């Protein structure tokens, strides 16, 4: 989970990555992407890509702040019933769209993760508590003495 809150996971959750693979197998079970050897390279790229997303620092939404405890959850129950009906009737395409859109949405909604670090906003430095030069020298010698004593 992301530090400071539980709205996001840092990196793609493992069940979501497994859901992407399972939804692809379920959606194309008749065509056979698992049984045909020519699909081995795309499966390898998919597994490496999902592994990269699981170890990345991209934030994935956790859905833990949905208002389940409202006094009148009628609209939420209706939406959930329609969602379950769509998944029940069109499971191949619905599960594929859900799993792949969760994986792709986090990457596309990320605030420009490929921007170079030199152009990102920099945090201004804190005010120096020891503005005088001799205080810095004294402080650095104390730090050096402490580090040599600890060894």
Q: pLDDT digit string (tens) for 115-144?
A: 655 555 555 555 545 555 544 555 455 544
What pLDDT score was predicted for residue 83?
92
Model confidence at 8, pLDDT cuts 50, 70, 90, reads: confident
Domain range list for the chain = 8-113
Point out the least confidently predicted range of 13-17, 31-35, 44-48, 91-95. Answer: 31-35
Give pLDDT tens digits for 83-92.
999 999 999 9
Q: Phi and psi for 59 in degrees, rounded to 5? A: -90, 125
CA distance 125 to 54: 33
Q: Phi and psi for 8 in degrees, rounded to 5? A: -135, 150
* DSSP string for residues in 22-90: HHHHHHTTTT-TTT-GGGHHHHHHHHHHHHHHHTS--EEE--TTS-TT-S--HHHHHHHHHHHHHHHHS
Q: Name residues whose C-beta falls within 8 Å of residue 29's C-beta, 6 or more positions apart in sequence.
A: 92
Q: Is the pTM of this model over 0.85?
A: no
Model confidence at 56, pLDDT cuts 50, 70, 90, reads: confident
Mean pLDDT of the 67-75 span: 69
Give pLDDT tens digits for 38-49.
778 888 899 999
State the residue for tokens 């939406």. 79
């Amino acid at each position: 989970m992301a530090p400071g809150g539980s709205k996001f996971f840092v990196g793609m959750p493992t069940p979501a990555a497994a859901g992407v693979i399972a939804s692809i197998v379920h959606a194309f079970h008749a065509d056979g992407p698992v049984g045909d050897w020519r699909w081995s390279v795309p499966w390898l790229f998919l597994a490496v890509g999902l592994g990269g997303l699981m170890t990345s620092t991209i934030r994935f939404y956790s859905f833990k702040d949905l208002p389940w405890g409202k006094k009148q959850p009628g609209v939420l129950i209706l939406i959930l019933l329609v969602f379950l009906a769509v998944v029940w009737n069109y499971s191949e395409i619905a599960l594929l769209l859900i799993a792949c859109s969760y994986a792709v949405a986090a990457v596309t909604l990320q605030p420009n993760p490929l921007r170079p670090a030199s152009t990102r906003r920099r945090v201004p430095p804190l005010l120096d508590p020891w503005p005088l030069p001799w205080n810095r020298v004294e402080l650095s010698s104390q730090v050096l003495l402490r580090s040599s004593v600890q060894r």
